[in-house]
Amino acid sequence: ADRRALIEALPKAELHLHIEGSLEPELLFELAQRNQVEIPFDSVEAVRAAYDFSNLQDFLDIYYQGMSVLLHEQDFYDLTMAYLKRVHQDGVVHVEIFFDPQGHTERGVAFDTVIKGITRALDDGEEQLGITHRLIMCFLRHLDEEAAFETLEQAKPWLNRIHGVGLDSSEVGHPPSKFEKVFAKARAMGLFPTAHAGEEGPPEYVHEALDLLQVRRIDHGNRALEDAALTQRIADEGLTLTVCPLSNLKLCVIDRIEDSPVRKMLDAGLRATINSDDPAYFGGYVNDNFQAIADALDLDREEILTLARNGFEGALIDADVRQRHL
Ligand code: ADE
Ligand code: ZN
């Protein structure tokens, strides 16, 4: 009870959140009706019942299907605003949002439609709720590097709104090396590089993300712990890991929350952060993730404070803004 009050009261930053993964079944249904899109479910309960995954790909299949109701700028606005209002209740004051433009452009929705809706909501969220933001554009790794280059080209008029590039979707079989050139170009354009690595993929993929993509943050990073030298390197370089406990559980990356890598990461001096990944699909927003991990690992007050502080230390914000949050 004490823990819950502490977690709720803490100002928090969320650094690993796919905005398309915040599409709650209720809004999915509303948008399906508004846009006359057929979905293979006849009730909100049926949608929720389908959210039972045994691995990352199981989830991704449903995640891409869910996105199909997002067609117009207002849909992206509504999606983003719903997320901001929800995390405002959790005490989140800074968000770094991933979006998957290729999940939309592949369906014929224009890049500009997507980003206009998202950024308009982010601006309103800052003004109305005081939540600051960064936007990180992800490349879908199951697609080829050429498609990623096209997406980077489409982002050019929006570089004042996009701070970083990420790499997501099906990890195994799509190593970071596949995207070495497009990440080099993105970095040259001033974009901050991050990548999902070591969620299902081996430690070698984390090595590649560091060496070939030159990422400055690692999304998930669970399996990096299998390699002691790699773990030491991540600690030495002060890299942030964006861990997602309830996601790990739902995608069977771990069998029990107790098996979350967070305890080992903290003990190894790594800058671990707590995030929700795709909260509409994994059953919890940031505070639920903090609560689950704090209970399972029996975290004390200092450890909870460290995890929350790590979110601001790893955030893509200026030193003076960071200082105000710490
Ligand atoms: N896309 C959305 N969530 C993801 C995750 N956890 N891993 C890889 N790709 C994703
Ligand atoms: Zn993710």
**Alpha carbons 95 and 101: distance in angstroms, whole number:** 18
- Residue 321 falls within a domain, yes or no? no
Whether residue 146 has pLDDT greater than 70: yes
What is the per-residue pLDDT for 321? 85
Counting the structural domains of the chain, the total is 1
> Which residue would you say has higher pLDDT here, 55 or 323?
55
Q: What is the CATH number of the domain that holds 132?
A: 3.20.20.140
Residue 278 marked as a ligand binder: yes
What is the per-residue pLDDT for 320? 87
The DSSP output letter for 316 is S
Average pLDDT over residues 315-320: 92
Average pLDDT over residues 117-123: 98
Angle at which helices 2-9 and 301-313 cross, to 10°: 20
What is the per-residue pLDDT for 323? 87
Residue 16 marked as a ligand binder: yes
169 lines ligand 1 (CB under 6 A): yes
Whether residue 182 has pLDDT greater than 70: yes
Q: How close is the Cα of 302 to the center of ligand 1, in Å? A: 30
Q: What is the residue with the minimal CA distance to atom 9 of ligand 1?
A: 169
Per-residue pLDDT band for 190 (boundaries 50, 70, 90) equals: very high
Both structure tokens of 92:
């989140």
What is the per-residue pLDDT for 59? 98
Index of the ligand 1 atom closest to the CA of residue 171 = 8
Average pLDDT over residues 291-313: 97
- Catalytic residue positions, numbered: 199
Most informative mutation of 97, 167, 196, 252 for ligand 1 (most atoms within 8 A of CB): 196
Q: How close is the Cα of 271 to the center of ligand 1, in Å? A: 21
Ligand nearest to C-alpha 56: 1
Tell me the pLDDT of the chain averaged across its residues: 97
Whether residue 1 has pLDDT greater than 80: no
> Which residue would you say has higher pLDDT here, 129 or 1?
129
In sequence order, which residues have a C-beta less than 8 Å from that of residue 177 and are 6 or more positions away? 208, 212
- Domain hosting 14: range is 2-314
In sequence order, which residues have a C-beta less than 8 Å from that of residue 36 and are 6 or more positions away? none
247 lines ligand 1 (CB under 6 A): yes
Q: How close is the Cα of 41 to the center of ligand 1, in Å? A: 23
Could you report the predicted ipTM of this complex, rounded to two decimals? 0.98
- Residue 325 falls within a domain, yes or no? no
Residue from 193, 195, 154 nearest 171 by CA = 195
- Residue 320 falls within a domain, yes or no? no
Average pLDDT over residues 78-101: 98
- Residue 20 falls within a domain, yes or no? yes
222 lines ligand 1 (CB under 6 A): no
Most informative mutation of 99, 168, 243 for ligand 1 (most atoms within 8 A of CB): 168
- Residue 181 falls within a domain, yes or no? yes
Residue from 230, 139, 228, 149 nearest 176 by CA = 139
- pLDDT tens, residue by residue, 205-240: 999 999 999 999 999 999 999 999 999 999 999 999
- Residue 319 falls within a domain, yes or no? no
- Residue 263 falls within a domain, yes or no? yes
Q: How close is the Cα of 242 to the center of ligand 2, in Å? A: 9
Per-residue pLDDT band for 296 (boundaries 50, 70, 90) equals: very high
Ligand nearest to C-alpha 141: 1
Provide the residues around ligand 2 (an ion) whose CB is within 5 A.
277
Average pLDDT over residues 233-254: 98
- Residue 240 falls within a domain, yes or no? yes
